[in-house]
Chain A
Amino acid sequence: MRHGVARFVIGFLALPVALYLFYVVWPFAQAAGYSLTDWGGYSDRQQFVGLENYVRLLSDELIRKAFWHNVFFLVTVPLFTIALALFLAFLLNVGGREDRAGIRGVLGSGVYKIIFFFPQVLSLVVVAVMWQQIYRADGQGLINGVLMKVGLVDRDNPIAFTNDPEPFLGVPAVLWWLLLIAVWSGAGFYMVLFSAAMQSIPKDVFEAAILDGAGRFHTFFRVTLPLLRDTVSVAWIYLGFIALDMYALVFVMTPSQGGPNHASEIFASVLNFTAFQKGQFGYACAMGVALAIFAILLAAAQLKITRRERIEY
């Protein structure tokens, strides 16, 4: 590289890199530093305590509970979101009738695309507030109201939704109701992502499959899915991060931010309580660092498992 070019490149990169270092990397480093102290968060006094906070983390019952709730989301959010997004993308792009015009999506797929993508335009908090009305636990709630009119729900015993800690398949009901919102709000974006990937698959591949007598089922599982492998893998990692967070939904939707009675406690809600209510910032920082390490390991493992030779077309 000529000298002038290097200078030019550095000139352009210096500011963004500096901003990134200052606003992202530096706070992370600070948090890691604080995680080794007993800082309370409201003063400038702190004592170095070594790895004590991390040792404490291992025996914290609430954190263990929160961890398993995060694992629940980690498994279910990507699974259901990707499955739904793939299904919709397939229908919208190649699921329709085959005729002289070739392969295309179901009737009105353009309209559906906009409708399904819509939740992505809304902020998660707006989504949560809207769902509060849908989930409202009396006759004025959208779901309860309709079901009561139809007679499927007893007027004296409405569905409690996010206020319901009773286990369903071994997991508190409140988590399933939150999952529904997460999947609903996430599926649209991944549908668009998969649609784009599907459109880059040459039509002749599908036509060849159809000529060979493959139905929709086989086209999807034998042709589409293998060719989307890279995109699905990336989506899986993104959704994994979203599942590790889930904070906005828990914060807005559940009683006492993680309730009822700790039934929807997640890493972020315990962290928030520990830092801001209990005033144990050092310990809370240790939680944050542990979560960050966990997320990085997860992404690394994911990329390692799904790495494969790419198919060129």
Chain B
Amino acid sequence: MSAGHDHLLSVSDLTKTYRTRGGLFSKASDFHAVKNVGFHVGRNETLGLVGESGSGKSTIGRMVMGLTAPTAGQVTFDGEDVTSLPASRVKDVRRKMQMVFQDPYSALSPRMRVGQFVAEPMVVHGIGDSEADRREQVVGLFRRVGLNPDFMERYPHEFSGGQRQRICIARALALGPKFIVADEPITALDVSIQAQIVNLFQDLQQEMQMSYLFIAHDLSMVRYLCQRVAVMLRGRLVEIGPTAAIFGDPQHPYTQSLLSAVPIANPRLERARKRIAYQYSPETLGNQLEEVSSGHFVLK
């Protein structure tokens, strides 16, 4: 479905299988954390990846980043197959893709000054002519994510959750990436801070022509931020399409059920909301992705 286009990222037949060990009374078996998943992310585009815990969304994020080796399948980034890169190319490609995690508390090193933490990728990749030059760049990164550069010499414990996430984003930007995998980046933040971080992601996209894979379970935020949405269930991609099509005309019974469960911050609509139940079975799951309207695919 992505052949012939100039997509920044395309993923095809991505599969991750874990072999469970057999015990005295049980046979060894294969568990498909992710099975035959394919999608693409365009330039300057945000793809939302949703689904319940255990549906495989984080595993996909990690395989795209090369942090988990796929059992099968291909990840192509900027025209290059990153699943079979020669070691000499790995570092170059990594510069262009970065990750932001859910928990900004454990992502930061408690004994490293935050300025140093942001500069570290530049040191690893040998960017910047000198310490002073890198420092100059960190000042720019701090400003870009809305942090006061005077805070560079401080330690993580002096920052709030929202500020820590800004620090993590500054680090992710240090190498000038084209693509960021954001795995639940606002889930651990206070509600009044979530909007700040979402707006920051938007601004960065406009300023730097960035693409995102935005993994989240808050569907109202996904709807707001993403141009397209992919829905996962038990390791399978069950539906993918433009945000308006997914939210306005969901086709897979699981997507319908998922959307009907989202609470609405309006008492009258919320009291009237009808939930649609979904019972998982191999029959209701479907077999083959079919295109139901332009760019809108459903597992049938």
Does B associate with A? no
